[in-house]
Amino acid sequence: METEKKSDNMINKKDVDKEKSTNKGYKIVIIILLLIIAVLVYLLITTKLTVNEVVTEKEQISTEKQELQLELSTLIYKHDSIKISYGKLTDKLSEKDSVILANAQEIQKLIASQADYRRIKRKINRLRDITQRYVGQIDSLYTVNKELKTENVKIKGAYKKEQEKTSKLAEDTAYLSEKVATASILKAYNTSAATIRLRGGKKETPTDKAKKVEQIKICFTLGENLIIPSGKKTVYIRVARPDNKVLVKGNEDIYSFTDSNGKKLQYSMKKEVDYQNKSIYMCMYWIKNDTKESAMIGRYNVTIFVDGYEIGQTYFELK
C-alpha cells in the first residue's frame, strides 16, 4: 500500500511540474508577443511621424517655391512696366536690361530645380538691387531728356522765324523741281495690245484664244517733249503673264535693263528709236517661240519703259 501511495505521489508531482512548465511557456510566448506588439506600435508611430515630417517639409518647400516665384514674377513685371512706360529711352540701357533678364532666367532655373531657399533668396535680393539701380538710371535719363527737350523747344522757337522766311522759297523750288523732273520724262499715249495669228503666213488676224495666239502686238505713241535731250532712245516692254512671270527670250543679263531706282528688270521686247522731240507712233511684236504650245489663259499686263522710267501701260486677256 505504501508503495502505491508513493507511486501516486510521484505521478501527481510530475503533473504539477508539467503544468508549471506549460504555464511558464505561455508566459514567455505572451511576453514575446507583447514585445513584438510594442515594437510594431513604435515603428508605426515613428513611421507616421516621419511621413508627417516629409509632408510638412514638402508643403514648406512648395510654399517657399511659390513665394520665390511670386517675388521673381513681381520684379519682372515691374521691370517690363518700366520699359513700356519709358519707351525708347530704355534702349540706352540695353546692356543693363540684358543683365537683369539673364539673372531672372538663372533664378527661374534654380526655382524649378528646387535649389536652396536661402541661395535663391540672396539672388532675388541682388536682382532687386539691380532693378532699383536700373530705375534710378532711367529716371536720370528721363530728367536729362526732359531738360534737353525744353531747351530744344526754346531753340526751335528762335529758329522757327528763320525757317518761315525760307519755307516758301523751298516749297516753290521743290514744286518747280518736281515739275521739271516730271516734264523730263517721256510719256506713251494711245497704248494698245493685240494678240494675233497669221493666216497664210502674212495676214494678221486678231484672236483672244490662248490656243491660237502666235504673236503679241504692242502699239503706242511716244509723246512730244521739248525739254528732254533729243537722240537715241531705247524702248523696253515687259509683258507679264497671269502668274506674273515676264515673257523673255532668255535669262541672261542681255535680256534685262536697269530702271530709275537701280533695279534690274527683265524685258520682253526692246527697240531703239531716234527721238527728235516730236511724237512717234510705233508698234513692237512678241513672237511666240512654240506655236504648237497653248498660251496661258488669263490677264497679261504690259508696261513700257524709256530711260528707266515707266511711261505707259496696258493689258490684254486670253481665253
Q: Final residue of a domain: which of 167, 199, 221?
A: 167
Residues 151 and 255 in one domain: no
Residues 194 and 283 in one domain: yes
Between CA 216 and CA 5 the distance in angstroms is 152
Residue 175's pLDDT is 40
Residue 303's pLDDT is 94
Residues 140 and 230 in one domain: no
**Residue 17: CB partners within 8 Å, gap ≥ 6?**
none
Tell me, what DSSP letter sits at residue 92? G
Nearest CA-CA partner of 130 in 82, 63, 64: 82
Residue 85's pLDDT is 58
Residue 174's pLDDT is 46
Residues 92 and 205 in one domain: no
Residues 214 and 161 in one domain: no
Do the beta carbons of residue 196 and residue 205 sit within 8 Å?
A: yes
Instruction: Annotate 274-308 with b (16+ C-beta within 10 A) or e (fewer).
Output: ebeeeebeeebebeeeeeeeebeeeebbbbbbbeb
Is pLDDT of 19 > 90? Answer: no
Between CA 113 and CA 69 the distance in angstroms is 12
Between CA 97 and CA 99 the distance in angstroms is 5
- Domain range for residue 155? 15-167
Between CA 75 and CA 82 the distance in angstroms is 11
The band of 172, judged by pLDDT with boundaries at 50, 70 and 90, is: very low
- Write down the number of H helices and E strands in the chain: 3, 10
Q: Share the mean pLDDT of the chain.
A: 76
Residue 299's pLDDT is 95
Assigned C-alpha cell, 152: 530744344
